[in-house]
Amino acid sequence: MPAINPTPAPGMRWLYLVLLLITACSSEESNLALGTLERDRIVLTATANEIVTRLPVEEGASVEAGQLLVQLDPTKQALVIDSLQAELKAHETVLQRLRNGPRAEEIRAARAHVAFAEARLTESRQQLTRIEQLVQQNASAPSELDTAVATTASNEANLQDANAQLELLLAGTRPEEIVEAEARLQGIRARLALEQRKLEELSVIATRSGTLDTLPYHLGERVAVGTPIAVLLSGPSYARVHIPESRRAAIDIGSELGVYVDGADRRFTGTVRWISKDPEFTPYYALNSLERSRLVYRAEVELSSEASDLPAGLPAQVELPR
């Protein structure tokens, strides 16, 4: 049996060297989860189709919660509020009048109207009696009697109407009318509150402290409803990485891992705050054992406050437990 030479032929040495390097690189890469440094991205959108009138903060500046970032033109919305405030005042007056009921002057006027109607009716009745006598004596035409009868009936109706008006005033306002007026007033107040909220939303303020990353619109531009008008970067920095399926079982929420960021000459300590429950691509049950090893799970590793000054978007590498 011929002897086996353990030393490879000179022509094959380069192939063994390449395989060794590939194996070493694969081993090194498998110990690192690659990704980017991120911060929470807060997108503030426009609530109205208006023109940008103020941009008091420049991109890249640090901002505090409640600070004005963008001001949209409030002129039209202010007019809507003025109109509703006038309508509110008018309905408040109506409700107050209903609650107060009729004035004494109105009741006296109604009594006087009744007395006047009674006098007219008495006069018409007397006139009717005289004409009836004259007709019986053939001293007056029957048409005059018809006129006197019609006048008397009209004055009786006027007296009934005057009495009804007086009784209505004496009875006061119906409770249903007050309830209806109160409901109408409540509706106007709700509409006014809604329009005032719309006016407030024309002043786009920072909802969280952080860094003003982007201002998509310039001064004088008209924005469309629902479009991003300011973008904030807020909260602690975190590395968004992809963990290989083979290392997923060794990592859980709260695990502490080492993090390296390009351009930073130090190792940061990060804490896993979130891991996706599902793989990035094809579900595991549709793959064979070889393909399953290529699955990755998206994760977020929050860094300590020492990394808060690092800009978002830098490449980051997270050390995985062996």
Cβ atoms of 70 and 55 closer than 8 Å: yes
Residue type, 196: Q
Cβ atoms of 233 and 39 closer than 8 Å: yes
Check residues 163 and 86 and name the one with the higher pLDDT.
Answer: 86
C-alpha distances (whole Å) from 299 to each of 10, 139, 252, 272 are: 46, 117, 10, 7
**Residue 143 — very low, low, confident or very high, per pLDDT cuts 50/70/90?**
confident
What's the chain's average pLDDT? 85
Q: What is the pLDDT of residues 259-318, one digit of tens each?
A: 999 989 899 999 999 999 988 774 455 455 555 557 889 999 999 888 888 888 999 999
At residue 23, the pLDDT reads: 39
Cβ neighbors of 145 (< 8 A, separation 6 or more) are 128, 131, 132, 135
Check residues 83 and 110 and name the one with the higher pLDDT.
Answer: 83
Q: Which of 193-197, 226-230, 291-295 has the lowest mean pLDDT?
A: 291-295
**HSE (side-chain half, CA atoms, 13 Å) at 209:** 3
Maximum distance among all Cα pairs of the chain, rounded to whole angstroms? 170
Cβ neighbors of 76 (< 8 A, separation 6 or more) are 50
Tallying the residues shown for the chain, one arrives at: 322
**Cα 92 to Cα 188: distance, rounded to the nearest angstrom:** 10
Residue (of 266, 297, 320) closest to 29 by Cα position = 320
Cβ atoms of 219 and 56 closer than 8 Å: no
pLDDT (mean) for 155-178: 84
* Phi, psi for 96 (deg, rounded to 5): -65, -40
Lookup: tokens for 74: 């409030």
**Residue 320 — very low, low, confident or very high, per pLDDT cuts 50/70/90?**
very high
pLDDT (mean) for 105-116: 87
- In sequence order, what DSSP letters do the residues of 225-256 get, joined into one string? TTSEEEEEEEEEEEEEEEEEGGGGGG--TT-E
Q: What is the pLDDT of residues 9-28, one digit of tens each?
A: 444 433 333 333 333 444 34
Using DSSP bridges, classify how beta strands 228-244 and 68-72 pair: parallel, antiparallel or unpaired: unpaired
Q: Angle at the Cα of 270 (from 212 to 261), degrees rounded to 5?
A: 65
End-to-end Cα spacing for the chain: 44
At residue 141, the pLDDT reads: 84
**Residue 54 — very low, low, confident or very high, per pLDDT cuts 50/70/90?**
very high
**Cα 46 to Cα 33: distance, rounded to the nearest angstrom:** 38
C-alpha distances (whole Å) from 293 to each of 175, 281, 303 are: 77, 12, 28
**Cα 171 to Cα 64: distance, rounded to the nearest angstrom:** 61
At residue 166, the pLDDT reads: 81
Cβ atoms of 33 and 272 closer than 8 Å: no
Q: Angle at the Cα of 104 (from 98 to 106), degrees rounded to 5?
A: 75
